[in-house]
Amino acid sequence: MTFNIQTSANHYARASKLTPSGVHSSTRAKAPHPIYFSKGKGGEVWDVDGNRYLDLIMGNGAIMLGHGDQAVQESVQNALGTGLTTGIESELAVEVAQQFLDIVSTMNMVRFANTGTEAVMHALHVARHHTGKVRLAKMEGSYHGWSDELFISCWPDMSKNGSPDAPVSLAGSLGLHPSMVDSTMVLPFNDVERTQKLIEQHANELAAVILEPVLIDIGYIPPTTEYLKALRDLCTKHNIVLIFDELLTGFRVAPGGASQAYGVVPDLATYGKVLANGYPMAALAGKENLMRLTEPGQGPVFVGTFNANVIPLAAAHATLPQLKDGSVQATLNDRTKKLKSIFSEEATSLNIPAQLVGEGGHLHWYFSDQTITDYRSATSTNAKAYAAFNQVLSDSGVLVMANPLSHHAISLGHHDDVITELGAIFREGLKAAASAFN
Question: Does residue 427 lie in a domain region?
Answer: yes
In this structure, are residues 134 and 124 in contact, taking their beta carbons and an 8 Å threshold? Answer: no
Question: Does residue 127 lie in a domain region?
Answer: yes
Specify the pTM.
0.96
Q: Which of 269, 299, 323 is the last residue of a domain?
A: 323
Tell me: do 61 and 82 sit in the same domain. Answer: no
What CATH number does the domain containing 331 carry? 3.90.1150.10
Mean pLDDT, residues 109-126 taken together: 97
Question: Using 50, 70 and 90 to split pLDDT, how confident is the model at 437?
Answer: confident
- How many domains in the chain? 2
Tell me: do 262 and 248 sit in the same domain. Answer: yes
Tell me: do 58 and 134 sit in the same domain. Answer: no
pLDDT confidence of residue 1: 63
Per residue in 276-313, is it b (16+ CB within 10 Å) or e — as a string? Answer: bbbbbbbbbbbbeebbebbeeeebbebebebbbbbbbb
Mean pLDDT, residues 339-362 taken together: 97
Tell me: do 220 and 278 sit in the same domain. Answer: yes
Tell me: do 233 and 282 sit in the same domain. Answer: yes
pLDDT confidence of residue 438: 76
In order of 111, 122, 224, 336, the CA distances from 354 in angstroms are: 41, 39, 22, 16
Summarised one tens digit per residue, pLDDT across range 11-30 is 999 999 999 999 999 989 98
Question: Does residue 272 lie in a domain region?
Answer: yes
Q: Which of 291, 323, 355 is the last residue of a domain?
A: 323
Tell me: do 142 and 245 sit in the same domain. Answer: yes
Question: Does residue 1 lie in a domain region?
Answer: no
Tell me: do 57 and 88 sit in the same domain. Answer: no
Q: Which helix (H) or strand (E) holds 237?
A: helix 225-237
Summarised one tens digit per residue, pLDDT across range 180-206 is 888 999 999 999 999 999 999 999 999
Mean pLDDT, residues 49-68 taken together: 97
Summarised one tens digit per residue, pLDDT across range 225-251 is 999 999 999 999 999 999 999 999 999
Flag the least confident range among 86-95, 162-171, 310-319. 162-171
Summarised one tens digit per residue, pLDDT across range 142-188 is 999 999 999 999 999 999 999 999 999 999 999 999 998 889 999 99
**By residue range, what is the domain housing residue 50?**
6-68+326-436
| CA-based nearest residue to 104, from 261, 217, 221 | 261
Tell me: do 59 and 190 sit in the same domain. Answer: no
Q: What percent of the chain has pLDDT over 70?
A: 100
In order of 29, 200, 210, 237, 261, the CA distances from 228 in angstroms are: 36, 16, 11, 14, 12
What CATH number does the domain containing 195 carry? 3.40.640.10
Question: Angle at CA 225, nearest 5°, toward 222 and 230?
Answer: 120
Question: Does residue 55 lie in a domain region?
Answer: yes
Tell me: do 141 and 169 sit in the same domain. Answer: yes
275 pLDDT higher than 70: yes
Q: Which of 308, 323, 338 is the last residue of a domain?
A: 323
Q: What percent of the chain has pLDDT over 90?
A: 96
The single-letter code of the amino acid at 408 is H
Question: Using 50, 70 and 90 to split pLDDT, how confident is the model at 2?
Answer: confident
Tell me: do 417 and 332 sit in the same domain. Answer: yes
Most distant CA pair in the chain, distance: 65
Question: Does residue 160 lie in a domain region?
Answer: yes
Tell me: do 285 and 424 sit in the same domain. Answer: no
| CA-based nearest residue to 43, from 27, 30, 59 | 59
Tell me: do 41 and 186 sit in the same domain. Answer: no
List residues bridging with 272 in a β-sheet: 282
Question: Using 50, 70 and 90 to split pLDDT, how confident is the model at 295?
Answer: very high
